[in-house]
Amino acid sequence: MRIATWNVNSVTVRTERLLAWLERTGTDVLCLQELKCEPAAFPAEPLRALGYEAAVVADGRWNGVAVVSRTGLEDVTRGLVGGPEFDGKDEPRAVAATCGGVRVWSVYVPNGREVGHPHFAYKLRWLAALRETVAQDAAGERPFAVLGDFNVAPADEDVWDRAAFEDSTHVTDVEREALAALRSTGLSDVVPRPLKYEHPFTYWDYRRLCFPKNRGMRIDLVYGNAPFAGAVKDAYVDREERKGKGASDHAPVVVDLALG
């Protein structure tokens, strides 16, 4: 089974690239983030024509997540248990489904904006709610993974220059501690480092030639429990999909599983 995660930065803008990528890679389950569309605008019909069904949570703003699967879509869960609100809104940032016997969550962790900003506190509360929500599945015997845009670089080597992020979000100790708390439920990072190149970043800003200069961050992650991690046969960042006109500012992260 091939499972992937991809922050598409507007699924309506990138529908053609999404469909072409699925056909080219033969991905079975894809977790999407930052849909930026109303539920009715999600490309369900073109995906269905390729054999995929989708569980979608979206509200037309800059959030929105989905699980797209051609191996079944069962036990769909939308939102976190006790998930916090921001400015009185329950933002669409998490959706789970069971696909071919594998349980997955697609998550889009809040950005945090600035250290000390109310959105930063919201980010930490959201990560705590995620931990509580997935703890039981993470400790279970069924293959299980949380995939998505975590908006946290787990270590200094996951950013192109740690000094460039001084006093910024994404690299603070408290954010990394929240990721460590999530992993403590029985999850591990299943994408090895290094991969086929020195810095396996997943995000590059559109500005300042960040992609050609490889000034990126590794913030799109796949955290799997022991049965999931034990089935991993290959994992990689599809850096090629970040190239060309109309690309997202994130690259897909792909994991291949050999399941009994």
Residue reference for tokens 């029985």: 186
Residue reference for tokens 């109310």: 118
pTM for the complete prediction? 0.96
pLDDT in tens, 115-135: 999 999 999 999 999 999 999
Listed residue (186, 177, 96, 98) closest to 136, CA to CA: 186
Residue pair 131/201 in contact by the 8 Å Cβ criterion? no
Distance CA 172, CA 176 (A): 6
Domain ranges of the chain: 2-257
CATH number of 2-257: 3.60.10.10
pLDDT in tens, 206-246: 998 999 999 999 999 999 999 999 999 999 999 999 999 99
The confidence score (pLDDT) of residue 197 equals 55
Distance CA 249, CA 252 (A): 10
Residue pair 130/101 in contact by the 8 Å Cβ criterion? no
**Alpha carbon distances (Å) from 207 to 112, 190, 199, 212:** 20, 30, 19, 11
The sign one gets for the Cα dihedral 228, 46, 236, 233 is: positive
Residue pair 42/113 in contact by the 8 Å Cβ criterion? no
The sign one gets for the Cα dihedral 38, 43, 74, 219 is: negative
The confidence score (pLDDT) of residue 194 equals 56
Sheet-wide strand order for 2-7: 53-57, 65-69, 29-33, 2-7, 253-257, 232-237
Gyration radius of the chain's alpha carbons: 17
The confidence score (pLDDT) of residue 28 equals 98
Residue 212 neighbours by CB distance under 10 Å: 9
Backbone angles phi, psi at 66, to 5 degrees: -155, 155
pLDDT in tens, 43-84: 999 999 999 999 999 998 889 999 999 999 999 999 999 999
The confidence score (pLDDT) of residue 249 equals 98
